[in-house]
Amino acid sequence: MPMPAIASDRLVELHNDLAYYDTMVAAKMRDYLRGNIINRNKLAVDSELEEGLRSFKAETSGEVECRRELLRYKRRVDDVVRELLRISDERVIAK
């Protein structure tokens, strides 16, 4: 994800939080594909990150665009989380 050359510390923190969220979801997806059960307590949509991104006050046009891209990317990761939880629920019901 692009990051403006001069970004506030808070935007960098949000970027890092999103990268961690994405990595965590990827690890859970890998576990699921290997046949492991998804622990619903450890996988959920990160609403705190969403709120942090929405409430971030961008000061430059670069930060505005970066914030917009981060929100877009987060929504894609959220879609993966929702789908993984849905598939996991179906898998449990089918057994």
Segments forming the whole domain that contains residue 78:
9-94
pLDDT in tens, 62-71: 889 999 999 9
Q: Is residue 86 part of a domain?
A: yes
Task: Answer for the pair 23, 82: CB distance below 8 angstroms, yes or no.
Answer: no
Q: Is residue 25 part of a domain?
A: yes
Q: Is residue 2 part of a domain?
A: no
Long-range contacts of 8-13 (CB under 8 A, 24+ apart): 8/59, 8/63, 10/56, 11/56, 11/58, 11/63, 11/66, 11/67
Question: Taking 70 as the threshold, does the pLDDT of residue 7 lie above it?
Answer: no
pLDDT value, residue 84: 93
Q: Is residue 4 part of a domain?
A: no
Give the pLDDT band of residue 92 (cuts 50, 70, 90). low
Rounded CA-CA distance 95/12 in Å is 44
How many domains is the chain built from?
Answer: 1
Token readout for 19 is 């990268």
What's the average model confidence in pLDDT over 2-23? 84
pLDDT value, residue 38: 86
CATH number for the domain harbouring residue 37: 1.20.58
Q: Is residue 80 part of a domain?
A: yes
Indicate the residue type of 72.
R
